[in-house]
Amino acid sequence: MSKSIRVADDTHAALAALKSEDETFDELPSRLIRERRESIQAGAGLWADSDAAAKAWGARSEMK
């Protein structure tokens, strides 16, 4: 099933700049979502066995 979404001209231009030559506008969001998920998964566990998470929470609390 196909869906259409409206985007502003500047949003379309930004998406067009991100789109590969061999990629359709339909494929673009799927790729961006996949890359985002891979990036998040790659970062999972980076702070394991360190105090970095506690330091980050402390810094965040101080900024509030």
* Rounded Cα gap, residues 17 and 11, in angstroms: 10
Per the structure, how many domains does the chain have? 1
In a domain, 1, yes or no: no
In a domain, 2, yes or no: no
Given a cut of 90, whether residue 44 has pLDDT beyond it is no
In a domain, 13, yes or no: yes
* Rounded Cα gap, residues 49 and 38, in angstroms: 22
Q: What confidence category does residue 50 fall into, taking pLDDT thresholds of 50, 70 and 90? A: confident
In a domain, 38, yes or no: yes
Segments forming the whole domain that contains residue 37: 7-44
pTM attached to this predicted model: 0.62
In a domain, 56, yes or no: no
Point out the least confidently predicted range of 1-5, 16-20, 42-46: 42-46
In a domain, 21, yes or no: yes
In a domain, 54, yes or no: no
Chain segment 5-31, per-residue pLDDT in tens: 999 999 999 999 999 999 999 999 999
